[in-house]
Amino acid sequence: MIQIEGLVKTYGPVRALDGLSLTVASGVVYGFLGPNGAGKTTTMRILAGLARPDRGRVSVLDRQVGAAGVDVRPLIGVLPEEPALYPWMTPMEYLRDFIAPLYGMGPQAARQRAAELLKQVDLQAAARRRIHGFSRGMRQRLALAAALVHRPPVLLLDEPVSALDPAGRKEVLELIEALRGETTILLSTHILADVERVCDVVGIIHQGRLIIQAGRSELMARYATPLFEVVVDNGFGAWADAAAGLPFVRNLAVDDHIARVLVSDVPAAQQALLHSLADAGLLVRRFELVRPSLEEIFLGLTGTEA
């Protein structure tokens, strides 16, 4: 659905994109991750036709964005990070009388589509209230409805939940999950827990280049480092020094009553660590093999803070 090849974009001395290439398959929710300044928003703007690359090629459904005589706007719905809405309008007026006519819909089709979308984003009860009184979450759901008016095969979401409270985030993420398979979604975000929840594929961009692209479960499995977390009631004492010398222990970090042990051999560690804890007379509250979070993988790959 989306093909980006060798994308380069500079702003004066700053190279925002440095040969970025990636592919987004049909029907997936693609998590587009990167630290601040990595080039995510620049990529989204180029895809939406709001900026032009210095070099490279961008295609949506095999139509080249920016090519002479090619209009990809009917193929794309866009939800910007801070959507601009007309506060004096109602949601019904905004969708029916403003957005739908932009896509050539007549009055009857526009009214029907607006009603469908307001129900889909759970705003039918507020359909005739003025937008100026809406919460940030309600405004974001309305902006998502506007992006879906023309049933686009590709949906670009730029930080769709970054400014929302927990309730608003939950509502918008549930809407995104419900759209899986209905449209292809490119979701730019820095909230890694949200990517773990809703995305099928993850692409991590750093300094304008794609450094990894993989299915979410594949990424977690490929970069998962076996890690045991041990919680005790009475302090670790000399146990930590002895455990650090075991042949399968790659790293051991102790913080008060919690130890995190990176290992190279899970079965051997599981048996030997338990025995060593018992022999040391430690009161073990928890002994668990934990999976690293996407945040830990992200930080390891980019060497930055999320």
Residues 6 or more apart from 109 whose CB is under 8 A from it? 100
3-state SS assignment for residue 186: strand
Contact present, 30 and 203 (Cβ < 8 Å)? yes
Give the separation between CA 87 and CA 94, rounded to whole angstroms. Answer: 9
Residues 6 or more apart from 145 whose CB is under 8 A from it? 91, 95, 117, 118, 120, 121, 123
**pLDDT tens digits for 163-182?**
888 888 889 999 999 999 89
Contact present, 66 and 49 (Cβ < 8 Å)? yes
The helix (H) or strand (E) run that includes residue 176 is: helix 166-178
| Predicted pLDDT at 303 | 65
- Which residue stretches of the chain have pLDDT < 50? 305-306
Give the separation between CA 239 and CA 276, rounded to whole angstroms. Answer: 8
Residues 6 or more apart from 43 whose CB is under 8 A from it? 4, 7, 17, 20, 32, 188, 205
Give the separation between CA 296 and CA 306, rounded to whole angstroms. Answer: 9
Domains of the chain: 2-221 (3.40.50.300), 227-290 (3.30.70)
**pLDDT tens digits for 255-291?**
888 998 888 888 888 899 999 999 999 999 999 988 7
